[in-house]
Copies of this chain bind each other. A is one copy, B any other.
């Protein structure tokens, strides 16, 4: 089997190398490419992706996997490589090439329709395109006939193994806790916002780099740049790049975006080098990836111990706007809860209500219970029910996210809330294993936490599923209780709420 395993590894490494090349081109497009280069960039990416896809679906790969599936005596790493490669191969082979092309074309068209609809602030402009995407998402799901729910194969793309039967009830339970928590917080005194003022870009970047380094992001194998939308991309095991953005009147956008992306980056940098260059060397799921970004962004970088260490440094960096604000007021400001219209601007407490609403609407669209043309109305109704706010127009309502117009309707959102749920489970388990994690945070030491996460989450890549990681690391199944407890504890104390 030695020869075949080596052959498979080489085969997969070439596919990975092409996919990584595409990542470099996407990173470049989002950071430094002159805008005029966009047209040719499309052709460059298409040429590479087509080649990667062809190799990833070739019968030669299938034959190699057939030989290895039944092979006895593979070590754990090679067995994981075969398993992950088999999964990717089967999913790709299951979907006819003609459907893949129709979906790709439809996404380009609906992306444009979304932009036109945004320009007109009129959902009706994009109705037809979204109906087409919905139809094609159903057609994609139909390629996997064993699924219990039409959305399951779509969820499985980004959160392998997760299903409506698992995620649905968890989200329903979480929603029942969050809606009253939001109401209770709103009834309390509204805290001050983060003070506006002069936060020069260079100082923000320097401070953000200092924080990212402290929590364990390795700049020797990465970099931090600016882009319109912050993102993380693993160009290779030794080249994991993050981006952020800056508002010069408010430090928080740059800092929390950097910490969030550094969390993703630390995950990628922590994957076992034995998997480098193979499809095992990726995050296990969208939800588990998001658990790492949100853990560092919220459970760490919006916590009191973190700022006991960093707030004097932040004040020294930006004395003018922050000198007069004591730590308590600062913590309330960066944790201010306010129901709002836009998901990406939402605070930690209200955020999941935005996400779970989209998850439920996706299911209704897929099942046929909701027609595309009725989506704007359903959106408004749910915003009022869950958050008590009313979107005044389509751009602030059902047109706000690109996801459904640039990808499948279905499976696009659950990872954001799964990530929050996992983050609290993992942080709780880490603190159980190392009670000094929180005291260390207050001293500016994050290696205890980072080390536990690498040992229990990062290093496996896709060698374990997200559910396996959660089970092995926490001793239980995915469960929203630790997350709800964390929110109640934190915001109960901060807002003086009568919650347990």
Contact = CB atoms under 8 A, between A and B. Distances in A.
Interface of A: 13-14, 17-18, 20-21, 24-25, 28, 32-37, 39-41, 43-48, 51, 219-223, 225, 235-239, 276-277
Contacts of A239: 33-34, 36-37, 40-41
A280 to B, nearest CB: 15
A15 to B, nearest CB: 8
A17 B41 CA distance: 8
Contacts of A277: 40, 43
A44 B222 CA distance: 17
B220 A34 contact: yes
A237 B40 CA distance: 8
Contacts of A24: 24-25, 28, 44
A221 B40 CA distance: 12
Contacts of A35: 220
20 contacts: A17-B43, A17-B44, A18-B48, A20-B40, A21-B44, A24-B25, A24-B44, A32-B225, A33-B235, A34-B220, A34-B223, A34-B239, A36-B220, A36-B239, A37-B221, A37-B236, A40-B236, A40-B237, A40-B277, A51-B51
Given A43-B277, A46-B17, A36 B238 contact: yes
Contacts of A221: 34, 36-37
Interchain residue pairs A-B with the least CB separation, the first 8: A37-B239, A40-B236, A36-B238, A17-B47, A21-B44, A17-B43, A36-B221, A17-B44
Q: Which of A43, A46, A223, A237 has its CB near the most chain B CB atoms (within 10 A)?
A: A43
A219 B36 CA distance: 10
Contacts of A219: 34
A220 B35 CA distance: 8
A14 B46 CA distance: 9
A9 to B, nearest CB: 12
A277 B44 CA distance: 10
Nearest to A32: B223
A221 B221 CA distance: 30
Given A18-B51, A39-B238, A51-B51, 13 more contacts: A17-B48, A21-B21, A24-B24, A24-B25, A34-B219, A34-B220, A35-B220, A36-B220, A36-B221, A37-B236, A37-B239, A41-B239, A48-B48
A37 to B, nearest CB: 3
A18 B46 CA distance: 9
Contacts of A14: 47
A370 B276 CA distance: 47
B25 A21 contact: yes
Contact of A20 (B18, B36, B44): B44
Contacts of A18: 44, 47-48, 51
Contacts of A20: 40, 44
A238 B221 CA distance: 31
A277 B236 CA distance: 28
A6 to B, nearest CB: 15
Contact of A34 (B13, B41, B222): B222
A13 B211 CA distance: 45
Nearest to A14: B47
Contacts of A25: 21, 24
Nearest to A40: B236
Q: Which of A18, A46, A237 has its CB near the most chain B CB atoms (within 10 A)?
A: A18
